[in-house]
Amino acid sequence: MSDFINVNFMPWLTLYQNIALGKITFWNYSRESEERINNSKIRKRLEEHFKSYKDITGSTNSIAIYSFEGKTFYDSLNEEEFNQLQEAVTTLAFASTIGKIEKRIQENQKHYMPPSMNAFDLMYRRLDFNSNRYAHLSLTVRDFGLEEGHIVFQKPFGTRDEAWISSKWLKYMNAYLALKNSSTLRNRISRSLEFYRLAQAQDDLKDNLLDSTFFTRTVLLVTAFESLLNFPILGKADFFANYAGD
């Protein structure tokens, strides 16, 4: 066995059931780690690290892990596999929130806050068995000297952390992921989902500036629709009028 493991995880996401999207299954670490991880050394090292992720009350937060088809979750991923993982996370984020938005619109709940994407932040760690230190990247700053137990990562205050997908949207999303990578439709959907996720990202500094955040979200959501519907660079108003008329 190697002296280290590579692990990607979502520290702020609570999963009440396993969710399979394409070749990837997302599962709750706290609930299933003993069943899925036979190696006690690996499980101990992961639990040592995961204790650093706390909610606002100081309690250890739930951790969402993934399993790639044919791999353990701590196997290294090549570039194509990592891109598939990121795509699955973006798909999970969309499918977990769009049903709630759909329901609020149907019920005319005008005061419902927009969904938060913070719960779907994907983190990467290389954890060594012979050292309790690890590296952490925050925006453009990387710290290589963090020590287990000395640093606590707090769950963002505005994060709503539940992932649940209706059978309808699960079917739709898996149909999308089954499209060929070369498919023009798949590429349009992928770009649209990414802009949707960016539009719903929470940022305390940005979101305190209400005019700014409204404008930013609006631009990103419009871009998501433009990507999905394949708007032309010029003549967008006429294109949309004709599209809506059809």
Q: How does the average pLDDT of the chain come out, rounded? A: 82
Q: Do residues 81 and 68 make contact, with C-beta atoms less than 8 angstroms apart?
A: yes
Q: Do residues 104 and 114 make contact, with C-beta atoms less than 8 angstroms apart?
A: no
CA–CA distance, 132 with 49 (Å, rounded to integer): 9
Quickly count: other Cβ atoms within 10 Å of residue 77's Cβ.
16
In the predicted structure, residue 114 carries a pLDDT above the cut 80? no
Q: What's the whole-model pTM score?
A: 0.83
In the predicted structure, residue 26 carries a pLDDT above the cut 90? yes
Exposed, middle or buried: residue 141 (CB in 10 Å: 0-12, 13-18, 19+)? exposed
CA–CA distance, 75 with 187 (Å, rounded to integer): 27
Average pLDDT over residues 191-202: 85
Q: Do residues 224 and 195 make contact, with C-beta atoms less than 8 angstroms apart?
A: yes
* Chain segment 31-61, per-residue pLDDT in tens: 898 888 888 899 999 998 999 898 878 887 7
Q: At what angle do helices 184-199 and 79-106 cross, to 10 degrees?
A: 60
In the predicted structure, residue 139 carries a pLDDT above the cut 60? no
Region of residue 24 (left: phi > 0; alpha: psi -120 to 50; beta: else) = beta
